[in-house]
Amino acid sequence: MGERKSVLLRLDPAVHDALTRWANDELRSTNAQIEFLLRRALAESGRLPSGAAAQPRRGRPRKDARPEESENPPDD
């Protein structure tokens, strides 16, 4: 993945607060929530470039994604 771009975004304080609450509900940072919403809007409108890198996965892996301990221990 190439270098990520930084942008200055001016938001109404009430909109920022609502985004922050939503991001917290989804266990994302406000920045990650904004990127998630922009990518979803681009994809729904057919404008997400095919060469766009996937959004980075952050945080702890889901419990169901972790390898399960074997129920049958190996024979010695």
Residue 53 tokens, joined: 């890198």
Q: How many CB atoms lie within 10 A of CB 32?
A: 16
pLDDT at 69 over 70: no
Q: How many CB atoms lie within 10 A of CB 34?
A: 18
pLDDT score for 3:
84
**Contact between 35 and 24 (Cβ < 8 Å):** no
pTM above 0.85, yes or no: no
pLDDT at 13 over 90: yes
44 pLDDT band, cuts 50/70/90, is: very high
